[in-house]
A and B are shown apart, each in its own frame.
Chain A
Amino acid sequence: MQLIASILVDGISYGMVLFIISVGLSITMGLMRVVNLAHGVFAMLGGYVAVALAAWLGLRPELAAALAIAVVAALAWPLERWLFRKVYGRGELQQVLLTIGIVFVGMAAVGTLFGNGLTAFTLPGYMRDTIDIGFRVLPKHRLAVLLAGGLVLLGLWALFSRTGFGISMRASVDKAQAAEALGIDTSRVYRYGFMLGAALAALGGILGAELLPLEPYYPLKYLVLFLAVVAVGGMGSIFGSFAAALLLGLVETASKYLMPEIASIMFYATMLLALSWKPQGLFGRRA
């Protein structure tokens, strides 16, 4: 009984971490349909900028994190304007080539600026402790991730189904010409969508840094993880990403408790099964 409870607690909290680090990608790649392999670069930049702001300006961690997210979103603007925009309509190969190039540039730049070692983002004191939940303890940081993940999910759902921007966004992706004919400024919609994706990536990079520590190889090392969540969830579905993250988190955690040696195999086996059952992903729509 206690074992099952432990698996659930750890699995859901790990799944939430997976969700929070890949939710940005479910916007750029899931909704906007750009094969964005550079997602990890934005996530890593979020973490590094937060560390730098906290260290250089002596800011509180929360403030440094919020500013870092804004900085990354601002940085995404010129990148979208002069790089990503050029490949929106092109084939997937071109998108892959461009974004993997950005990955290498990002890794080299961060390695030069911050060194090739590990960099740690210091959490505020109240997130560093553990909390006693009766039969065991849980890091408070995980609760923060659970809360943040829930808020992001709710916020995105409201944004995409309840606001004009969300409707324009979906229209621009599905029927760009019709949307333009109706007077929707699709390039503006894309720009904001992309910046939102980058900002969420940064948030994930910062909140996920306890499990996926910051280092210059971050974007390449965890790329498969991000892609797995979005692919299993299904392109174009935020809820899909959420469900996939929870599923993958639970399966991996359960096997860590029961059969540690094959824990990572189970992660990929689940991915394989889910995709053979539903090639479009759990909640995928046909593009």
Chain B
Amino acid sequence: MFKLTRRVMLATAALMLSTSAWSAGVVKVGVIGPFSGPFAGAFGTPFRQGVETYVATHGDKVGDTKIEFIYRDLAGPDPQKAKSLAQDLVVKDKVQYLAGVVFTPNAMAMAPLVQSAKVPLVIFNASTSVVVSKSDYFVRTSNTLPQVTVPVAKYALEHNVKSVVTIVSDYGPGIDAEKAFASTFEAGGGKVLESIRMPLSTSDFGPFLQKIRAVKPDALFTFLPFGPPTYAFVKAYNENGLKNDGVRFLGTSETQESDLQALGDSAIGLETAYFYSGAHDSAENKKFVAALAKLDPAAVANPATVSAYDGTHVIYKMVEATGGKADGAKAVAAVKGLAWESPRGPVKIDTETRDIIQNVYMRKVERDPASGKLVNREFKIYEAQPDYGRLAAK
């Protein structure tokens, strides 16, 4: 089986080389993401909007080369399907670049294929630390969990939070976040009073929060999959009197823009650390938000939209460096160390890890007096944060 795939790969590579002359002038990019299903709202739609916003503001050509995007729907974590979609894109559609990917297992499954076909994959999400190291052709423009979690722990230590209860959903990313937070916080002299792991299917969070209330920590640190669990958790945080008791809420992606308005007033005052806020105050972000609104007035600028927008920038730079010819190694080498001003702030592709180095912002949810909408207002910057997960693994 393995040998067979190898042969297919080699044939693919050969085919690509032989056809590249024929298709000169057009470079195809295959974007894989959940364009339907439960993750479309938070990821699939923002992916597409991010790419389209970039194309709308920068044109669909790099030099003489026209860039074409092909979208493929992958609704959830499904490694087998991820692999076959990527293979189809490379073999049948002859794409020179792959992009997108929400879930870590999907990215992992694509690594061997990407490696042997030498097709660069720009990851728009899949935020487990280890992913990028799985292939020399992976580049990531989103974030890693430790990258955004370590700054929260630092912030807590700097702001008089002495004791914390960590409360996370009982799955991979939740446990990663719990560990990253606890190790930084305890190393700095803080105390983790209790670590609660909640079943993923929980809908009534009241009992967990009553338990925390009894322990009386200075703050709770949480990680939940966003959408319904975050909604119910934030409601329960308010309704069980933790906010009134002064137990601070520390988190990361919980208040991301695609769900923020639905959270309502109960979200006001929540403190989170993340790499992008729709309310980021910079000329670059204003331009981006305006271009996005022109494309679709109902669109919400989300971390996933920006990751896709920046990912498209990386692909354009790769095409520029290779002059539209298929040369994966040269393309990836060209973007190592690439630095630019993103809507999220200054960013850089790490020369060694191909991960993104970026500012992580502490934000507080508040109601914007001008628009009347809830926003993540940035009030503190942790500059040029690396992926702490990779650093710790070394």
Contacts and interface: CB of A to CB of B under 8 A. Distances in A.
B199 A261 contact: yes
B208 A260 contact: yes
Contacts, number: 101
Report, as a range, how many residues of chain B touch the other chain. 35 or more
Nearest to A208: B203
Interface string A4-23: 00110010011001000000
A156 interface: no
A211 B41 contact: no
Interface centre among A10, A213, A221, A257 (most CB of B within 10 A): A213
B137 interface: no
Interface in B165-190: 170
A94 interface: no
Given A10-B204, A130-B241, A256-B208, A211 B227 contact: no
B264 A122 contact: yes
B353 interface: no
Question: Which label, helix, strand, loop or mixed, suits the secondary structure of the B interface?
Answer: helix
Contacts of B238: 130
A260 B169 CA distance: 11
Nearest to B239: A139
B38 interface: yes
Nearest to A139: B239
A168 interface: no
Report, as a range, how many residues of chain A touch the other chain. 35 or more
B228 A118 contact: yes
Contacts of A118: 41, 227-228, 231, 259, 262
A14 B204 contact: yes
B232 A116 contact: no
A120 B263 contact: yes
A213 B232 CA distance: 7
Contact of B38 (A119, A217, A260, A261): A217
Nearest to B195: A260
B371 interface: no
Nearest to B210: A6
Contacts of A210: 232, 235
B202 interface: yes
Contact of B198 (A115, A257, A260): A260
A212 interface: yes
Interface centre among B202, B207, B262 (most CB of A within 10 A): B207
Contacts of B258: 117
Interface of B: 38, 40-42, 45, 170, 196-204, 206-208, 210-211, 213, 227-228, 231-232, 235, 238-241, 258-259, 262-264
Interface of A: 6-7, 10, 13-14, 17, 111, 115-120, 122, 130, 136-137, 139, 141, 210-213, 215-217, 221-222, 225, 252-253, 256-257, 260-265
11 contacts: A6-B207, A10-B207, A115-B41, A117-B41, A117-B259, A137-B241, A139-B206, A257-B210, A261-B170, A264-B200, A265-B199
| 10 smallest beta-carbon distances between A and B, as pairs | A116-B41, A139-B239, A256-B207, A117-B41, A264-B199, A137-B241, A118-B262, A120-B262, A213-B231, A213-B228
